[in-house]
């Protein structure tokens, strides 16, 4: 998927930042509502800027049901965005699916595999139907933060002899022949270069 047009991200440092700090310092729900309203307005402006406020038939407009979890019992539809609170929400959905916390902590299966046993991947038609009868949500995170988090979790601190460590070794070999992952660690710039060129 590619962006429709270039868009700049500007972080507001003044009033919005102060409001956010107040939310964490107090228990004023009106401030929480105010912050959520600001986010909603920002999302609408950005969608309009990218042309996502009108119907279309390109890849940006077509929903991809592959990453959605649909819990018909609790009337929830979650779009899983990896590295954006996905571990926490996968845990929550597994609890809602009936798995106990103890079982989840001892299970050898990855949380996604457990979730898919209870929440099969929906068809596009089933997903559209669920949107009409459920609360749907996703958690967003700045793309750079997601990339850095993935680098740290999956490559920098990869367990020995795992797929992620092998992937890290391949990235280093491809981009910097003089560097060894065992001696110097995986360079973040190598990962960025690999992501940028693919």
Instruction: Give the model confidence (pLDDT) of 178-191 as tens digits.
Output: 555 544 445 666 66
∠ Cα 80 88 122 (to 5°)? 30
Mean pLDDT of 136-161: 87
Q: Which residue has the tokens 């402006």?
A: 45
Using one digit for the tens of pLDDT, what is the confidence trace for 150-173?
A: 888 887 888 888 888 888 788 777
C-alpha 132/C-alpha 120 separation (Å) is 19
Which tens digits make up the pLDDT trace of 23-68? 555 567 888 899 989 999 998 999 999 899 998 888 888 888 999 9
């Amino acid at each position: 998927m590619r962006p429709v047009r270039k868009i700049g991200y500007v972080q507001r440092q003044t009033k919005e930042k102060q409001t956010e700090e107040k939310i964490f310092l107090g228990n004023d729900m009106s401030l929480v509502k105010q912050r959520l309203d600001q986010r909603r307005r920002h999302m609408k402006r950005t969608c309009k800027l990218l042309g996502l406020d009108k119907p279309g038939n390109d890849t940006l407009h077509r929903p991809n049901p592959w990453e959605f979890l649909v819990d018909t019992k609790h009337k929830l539809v979650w779009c899983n965005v990896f590295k954006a609170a996905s571990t926490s929400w996968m845990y929550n959905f597994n609890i809602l699916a009936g798995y106990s916390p103890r079982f989840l902590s001892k299970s050898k299966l990855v949380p996604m595999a457990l979730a898919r046993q209870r929440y099969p991947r929906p068809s596009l038609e089933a997903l559209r139907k669920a949107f009409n009868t459920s609360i749907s949500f996703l958690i967003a995170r700045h793309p750079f933060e997601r990339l850095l988090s993935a680098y740290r979790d999956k490559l920098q601190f990869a367990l020995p002899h795992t797929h992620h460590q092998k992937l890290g070794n391949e990235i280093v070999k491809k981009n910097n022949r003089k560097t060894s992952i065992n001696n110097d660690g995986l360079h973040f710039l190598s990962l960025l270069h690999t992501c940028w060129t693919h």
